[in-house]
Structure 1
């Protein structure tokens, strides 16, 4: 995710630096920038450049500043507001679809605050349709039906949820079991049904890129993939493929881990990696010196995920194995 932190006072600025220091060590954070003062001008020019805005200021300042910029549930970034005394973090905008509720809890844990959530489904311990879409990288555009279904959940109703094979892991999710009647089917997308109306949720293509030292074992690679996905709170079933560079195509550990995970292994050529110019890639000096390419796991994930893909987990190392995860956004 791409975070922006903005403050207005000297104490707020200190808190911004504390948050920045923590987020930089989070592999799910791809970019984080800090701004100070000039709130309206900064938001006017950069509001939709980030996935989440953290305002260290009075809620009223943030509300007045973002009002002209708000578009829709599907387009707006998450917006959080925290007091400079670190006592509360408010989920202000895009609580479900933008992940503000989840991120408010995350930020509260960083600064020792109490998260403030106001969405009815969360207050009742239910998992809204748009929360499922956010957590598992699903796409839907029918915001009216999302609202109708979430309202039904808050009134203690249940919704029929049809799961394809690679999403059967949701059958054991306690919040989903409380809110949905689970069915299995063989389509490639999830369907939520209420009173004859269907809402389809289409998975965005998700790929884990894998690099490694020579001679790694199947167990090392599989452990690394599983550990990496824990940062995203998703199982390996959610992946569509593993990918690696052609220089690693003969690594038995990577090939056997793909078989164990039940995923295709896609090989990305060196020419494709050399031709990739993606702002989210972090070059590896070691790989560049030895093979003349910027890296393995990040570019392999991005290329295999497809055009207009983005990293959701930057390169992370686990005992001789590196893993990065990318999703296609279009």
Structure 2
């Protein structure tokens, strides 16, 4: 049976037509799915009972199930979700405030069950790869988040989406692109591409496709300023030579005032020296970019440690002096293992 949340708008139109229904039904059903967050076909009350019966015979609506909720002392929320086959993934809601002091949320989305990249500093990588998530599973996280916070679509709390959760987005390119297309639909979830960021370790296949789509901003998990170190801490990502990746990113399609965001996780004693900063400045000099510095969040059994605060400041100061745009990204949710690199889809019970 078809999960209606797995259909793009065009596919839903074709499905509705195949049932012998008028074309305007597509828009009605679509809004029930993505704006009114209907969990069953029976809830679609502006559609005749006969049509609802016909729909229910061929399709259903399946959301992921929330099996555990955790809230950090800083207000970050982590949801453990169970998918239709019992697989577990996590999504995180990160609070911030507007200039006017109003609460805003950014959601960190997962796109795979586990991850095949095996980065040595990441808890998700230690899980290994199980499977790709479908569009209904990826976007089901957004539906659940809006339900959790009782979001008002006229003035939503949930403003930004970052694909920085479990999995490598470009290794699930088909379902990622379908999800981004649906996110951008004004009759549905209605997220502007400027409020969506897709983070990749650096996968050659699919990078140009993502850029040409214009459906999201790009963030690249760099974490090392040279090929040798990248191969040591990110062995699978490093199969694409750093020099080749930077050459491609130099011509990556960008909108006006847009830059490629680079993520750099500072690991104590590993990639945080002034020599590393010097190499990093040189690496970024020919790419229109900005740099997010993330201080490592130790996880259970981790082989790395966080750098000292003075080391972080010296690293940042060196880059700023060389006109690199640097943002120190404040980690949130560390006490509930919801910070960068800590997602492992495990239950406390």
Normalised by the length of structure 2, the TM-score is 0.28
Higher helix content, 1 or 2: 1
Higher strand content, 1 or 2: 1
Normalised by the length of structure 1, the TM-score is 0.29
